Chain A
Amino acid sequence: MVERELSKKRYFLAFIFTSAVFIIGLLLGLLLTSLKFDFIDQYQQDFRTDILTFDVQDMLLQEDICKFDVNQLDDEFGVMSEQVSVLEDKLGKYDEDVLRMKEYYSLLEIRHMLLVEKLKNYCDYDYDIILFFYSNEEDECVDCEMQGYLLGYIKQKYDNVFIYSFDINIDNNALELLKKRYNVNTLTLVINDEINYGFIEKEEIENKI
């Protein structure tokens, strides 16, 4: 009969090493996620500067407002939007930092929208403005995600379409005003001031713009 051994020391060491790998992995994740916040903060700062630049230009050169290239803000907007949704996916929709970031992002969206509206009216540009009010709560809105994807497609297809997405659960006074202005329900699409409730098909949106 062979004598049995129990490699207790190795069990312990293996546990220590495995736990170390796990702890390093989790810490690394947290560390790099905080870097992501800094990255988005930087983008928001840049965007705010651009908006301010526009405001100053607007005040200095009233008659030249139409020379302002609004598309230059689009790239920054795109990156911000992507990062916010990545963070929301990663940290969860109830994470305080994510909610704070989304609130700020919504305000920047409103500011951008006002700018586009001004250009549309003052310079008579052929812009289409779509406001997309959605909810991330699946029991509140099952079609919101699909509607969002469809609007992304519309944005890519038509250069002159400006789409602004607002989470209706964000608690902000400016957003509340906007929601009242359009009598917003869960899934609401405002296409050039025309209010639509529920999921709107691709063809219908294309007919309205």
Chain B
Amino acid sequence: MDLSVAQIVIWVAYFISLYIVIFWLLTYIDRGVWLKKIEIKRFPFVSIVVPVLNEEKNIIWTLDSLVNMNYPRDKIEIIVVNDASTDNSRGEILDYISKHKEFSIIYLENEKNMGKHYGVNRALSVAKGEFFVCLDADSAVHPEALSKMLPHFDYDENLAVVLPLMKIINPENMLQRIQWCEYLLNFFYKSLMSMVNCVHVAPGPFSVFRRDILTKLGGIRRSYNTEDFEVSLRIQRSHYKLLQVLDAEVYTKPPKTIKGFYRQRNRWYKGTMLTLMDYKDMIFNRKYGDFGVLQLPRVMLSGFLAVGMITFTGYRYVIKPLWKDILNWSAINFDFSVWLRNFHFSFNWLNIDFTNTFFFLISLSIGLIIILYAYYYTRERIFKFGFLTVPAYIVLYGIMASIVWCGVFIDLIFRKSKLKW
């Protein structure tokens, strides 16, 4: 068998990816997902911080969802922190507060832009709630979300954070629909991860923290604009638990353009890699159980696998043959008329690359099983946004994410680690 470097790299990446997917499938068979529904018996006081930076278009939607929550209004305080927005966010917020005096809404404003972590910590310092929640100003929450998430804390004193199921709201174009699909899969995966306490990131929209634990751990720290990941690592390092539930929903608006998607993911992935370097002692550390031995190495490897896959697959199956074709076409002066005249479709199944086709079909089958499970547990219909969404996700998402990873590595190599929102 003729083995090229490209083929070996592709197979190694494939083996590791398949191993990780099979591990989570076995976890599902062994443990299932967290479906425990507990009726709320007490209504603890909850502080909700909404950090705002130029969100005049979304802030009312976000605040509306909070005041419409099915939770006693005297048990909630909303702390809006305006991080020196340059648009009319301030006017919108103050107007909203004046119209909703029956709610406890505190308005804080930073004189200059200080970053999300500063605003959240400022809110944490004045928060009175037993629980502390952060809701990004481009997201909204289901009326029942809080009352579905809080009861879990009563049954486990080591539980530090409960994460909601985050869904994309009203995806308008194919890029947003692909992200809609991605979110459902991610949160299904996270629910599996939480069965073995392997959740590695508590996302910005509406993760509910025990305030005393968060305060004890030092609040939110600035960390390459991926503070969600950093605080989760600190929680894991202190051996607390993060639980992903699937019955409490939060809605968010994803990037609409390729450029926006690239910038967002570049920030996430780059921040993840840099933050992970600050916690490298946890990687492969048996003290942290599956989280240290499997999950963190997976997070670390995902970028390398993506870059390895896209570069070597691209080289072997696209760039190399295309370059060869261009050279050959130049030899016939790009005269395709002969080829078109004599063209007849012929298929010989013996010409198929059997091994790689088999691997591809196995991956596709496992992927489809996971997609079906994800849609089932997140209560969504596969064809809700048309027949093309899932195929587009399968075909394009991996390529898109891999391209972003390539950009991240280029940035890191050329030390462009200064991050922008």
Interface residues of chain A, those whose CB is within 8 Å of chain B, are 1-2, 4-7, 10-11, 13-15, 17-18, 21-22, 24-26, 28-30, 32-33, 35-36, 39, 79, 82-83, 86, 89-92, 95, 145-147, 149-150, 153, 156-157, 201-202
By CB atoms of chain B within 10 A, which of A5, A6, A202 has the most?
A6
Cα of A92 to Cα of B30 in the assembled complex, Å = 44
B242 → chain A, closest Cβ, in Å?
A: 10
Contact status A6-B289, CB under 8 Å: yes
B24 → chain A, closest Cβ, in Å?
A: 9
What are 13 A-to-B residue pairs whose CB atoms are below 8 Å? A4-B288, A4-B291, A6-B286, A10-B27, A39-B350, A82-B348, A82-B351, A91-B2, A150-B331, A153-B331, A156-B338, A201-B331, A202-B331
Contact status B338-A5, CB under 8 Å: no
Cα of A86 to Cα of B352 in the assembled complex, Å = 9
* Size range of the chain B interface in the assembly: 35 or more
A159 → chain B, closest Cβ, in Å?
A: 10
A33 → chain B, closest Cβ, in Å?
A: 7
Task: Chain A residues near B362: list those with CB within 8 A.
Answer: 21, 25
User: Which of B27, B327, B333, B358 is in CB contact (< 8 Å) with A7?
Assistant: B27
Contact status B2-A92, CB under 8 Å: yes
- Given A4-B287, A11-B23, A92-B1, decide whether A25 and B18 contact each other with a Cβ distance below 8 A: no
Task: Chain B residues near A21: list those with CB within 8 A.
Answer: 18, 359, 362
Contact status B30-A10, CB under 8 Å: yes
Task: Chain B residues near A150: list those with CB within 8 A.
Answer: 328, 331-332
Task: Chain A residues near B332: list those with CB within 8 A.
Answer: 149-150, 153, 202
Q: Mark B179-194, 1 if CB is under 8 A from A, else 0.
A: 0000000000000000
Cα of A156 to Cα of B344 in the assembled complex, Å = 12
Cα of A66 to Cα of B90 in the assembled complex, Å = 95
Cα of A29 to Cα of B359 in the assembled complex, Å = 11
Contact status B287-A18, CB under 8 Å: no
Interface residue ranges of B315-332 to A (CB < 8 Å): 324, 327-328, 331-332
Contact status A2-B240, CB under 8 Å: yes
A22 → chain B, closest Cβ, in Å?
A: 6
- Given A4-B287, A4-B289, A5-B196, decide whether A24 and B358 contact each other with a Cβ distance below 8 A: yes
Cα of A136 to Cα of B156 in the assembled complex, Å = 68
Is B26 part of the contact surface with A, judged by Cβ < 8 Å?
Answer: yes
B8 → chain A, closest Cβ, in Å?
A: 13
Task: Chain A residues near B335: list those with CB within 8 A.
Answer: 153
Interface residues of chain B, those whose CB is within 8 Å of chain A, are 1-2, 11, 15, 18-20, 22-23, 26-27, 30, 158, 196-197, 238-241, 286-294, 324, 327-328, 331-333, 335, 338-339, 341-342, 348, 350-356, 358-359, 362
- Given A4-B287, A146-B328, decide whether A25 and B355 contact each other with a Cβ distance below 8 A: yes
Task: Chain A residues near B240: list those with CB within 8 A.
Answer: 1-2
Cα of A25 to Cα of B358 in the assembled complex, Å = 6
User: Which of B19, B23, B239, B354 is in CB contact (< 8 Å) with A28?
Assistant: B354
Cα of A5 to Cα of B23 in the assembled complex, Å = 15
Task: Chain B residues near A36: list those with CB within 8 A.
Answer: 350
Cα of A1 to Cα of B239 in the assembled complex, Å = 5
Contact status A35-B350, CB under 8 Å: yes
Contact status A149-B339, CB under 8 Å: no
Contact status B342-A156, CB under 8 Å: yes
Output the nearest chain A residue to B292 by Cβ-Cβ distance: A4
Contact status B359-A25, CB under 8 Å: yes
A30 → chain B, closest Cβ, in Å?
A: 8
Cα of A10 to Cα of B289 in the assembled complex, Å = 13
Contact status A91-B331, CB under 8 Å: no
Cα of A1 to Cα of B328 in the assembled complex, Å = 66
Contact status A15-B2, CB under 8 Å: no
- Given A2-B240, A5-B196, decide whether A32 and B354 contact each other with a Cβ distance below 8 A: yes
Task: Chain B residues near A18: list those with CB within 8 A.
Answer: 15, 18-19, 22
Output the nearest chain B residue to A143 by Cβ-Cβ distance: B331
Task: Chain A residues near B324: list those with CB within 8 A.
Answer: 145
Output the nearest chain B residue to A203 by Cβ-Cβ distance: B333
Output the nearest chain A residue to B360 by Cβ-Cβ distance: A25
